[in-house]
Structure 1
Amino acid sequence: MDVIPYLAALSALAALGLAFFFYKAVEKESPGDERMVFLMTEIQKGAKAFLQAEYKWVAVFGVIMAVLLAVVIAPLAAVTYLLGAILSSAAGYAGMT
């Protein structure tokens, strides 16, 4: 029996638990005074606008690469590539949010 997949799954669950712990710890803290909250919201707006502009170009690149992978390697390679790109984009969005 190979134990590595189980260790990987256990590590992933531990990492998610730790991330949730830190999320709750940060969420309990005060966001700051009125000026800090204003600056925070402006930075968030800018970050979201940047991600929207970037993801438009990344989507075009991803579709082109998926077509190339489907033709050159295999259709399943294109599906896995797109799934990885979508999940990576979601992680980037969650991280910026």
Structure 2
Amino acid sequence: MQYVHLGRAGLKVSRLCLGTMNFGPQTSEQDSFAIMDRALDLGVNFFDTANVYGWKLGEGWTEQIIGRWLAQGGGRRDKVVLATKVFGRMGEWPNQSRLSAR
């Protein structure tokens, strides 16, 4: 796997990034775990997610799956660079959208 510097921080990420948008609604947790395991085995260390992934079937579902996968240990959290987007609306209440303090 080829790695490149992300910005100027010296952080190195794989040229390929694993998109996780369909984890949860379209891809079972078991299959999502298998995909992340395989990606890591192949050297992919850059995973992309967002707070709204899971959409109307359950915002945050994808991030919960990734969190449970990371919690299994085995050095996963030390190896993966996790990029997430936090601007999406998670609910109707004032502090559940955009970049609120919540």
* Structure 2 length-normalised TM: 0.28
Higher helix fraction (1 or 2): 1
Higher strand fraction (1 or 2): 2
Q: Please identify the structure whose Cα radius of gyration is greater.
A: 1
